[in-house]
Amino acid sequence: MEESLKKILLVEDDPNFGTVLKEYLSINGYEVVHAKNGMEGFEKFKKTDFHLCILDVMMPYKDGFTLAKEIREKNEDIPIIFLTAKALKEDVLKGYKVGADDYLNKPFDSEVLLMKIKAIIQRKNVDSLADSKQFEFTIGEFSLNSKLRFLSHKSEKPAKLSPKENELLRLLILHENDLMPREIALTKIWRDDNYFTSRSMDVYIAKLRKYLKLDPNVEILNIHGEGFRLVVNSQS
């Protein structure tokens, strides 16, 4: 497997629940380090680079909120999911205040946790992709300079893209031959995911397809209900 497993720090003081949850996440393709209290959790956090933390709120020696604060001082960006047996509004607010990305009340559906983990990690990946400094790209017979917003093809003079066309094409290129989720493009470029912004994005996708039809090996596929994929077929 060429892609390394995503590492999760699970801090949960109930040994039975912690073991079961660790096994479930491991079966689903994650590498999980389990700590049994907040102090042990922080020690483990300092020694390894994790992609996400799952913290129980009520723990001996150091509760989940205190641990989250300490983690945040070391790493501002790592996603944190809280698990709690108390569905108190104050707790939920306190959790979000210390930087929680999500909250789950026990008992919870493990599939829901899995979906949340996947969505949060994917969002973080896209954020770091979109924040990359790269601005010159080659796609098939095209080259894009996203700083100048010029899309060039060898047979035509460069086309000047609108700001949204440019951002959308850049995001598609960063996901080349992979799914670009619809909601990620909408929140990144349109800053909102609703019916109207979604229709607007479809219009921009149609405009980009028009530009790209000069090269039959480049196309934008619609992945129904999920998003789009920029496919670049290698020329035989």
pTM: 0.57
Identify the CATH number of the domain in which residue 182 sits: 1.10.10.10
Low-confidence ranges of the chain (pLDDT < 70): 1-4, 87-88, 125-132, 235-236
Residue 181 has a pLDDT of 86
Is the same domain home to 109 and 172?
Answer: no
**Domain end among 129, 151, 181:** 129
**Domain end among 71, 106, 129:** 129
Residue 175 has a pLDDT of 87
Residue 1 placed within a domain: no
Residue 3 has a pLDDT of 47
Provide the domain count of the chain: 2
Contact 14, 56 (CB under 8 A): yes
Residue 27 has a pLDDT of 94
User: Rounded CA gap, 70 and 61, in Å?
Assistant: 14
Is the same domain home to 171 and 104?
Answer: no
Torsion, CA 138, CA 139, CA 143, CA 148, rounded to 10:
-90
**Domain end among 108, 129, 150:** 129
Is the same domain home to 99 and 153?
Answer: no
Is the same domain home to 153 and 219?
Answer: yes
User: Rounded CA gap, 234 and 212, in Å?
Assistant: 15
Residue 28 placed within a domain: yes
Residue 128 has a pLDDT of 62
**Residues spanned by the domain of 111:** 6-129
Contact 225, 165 (CB under 8 A): no
Residue 68 has a pLDDT of 93
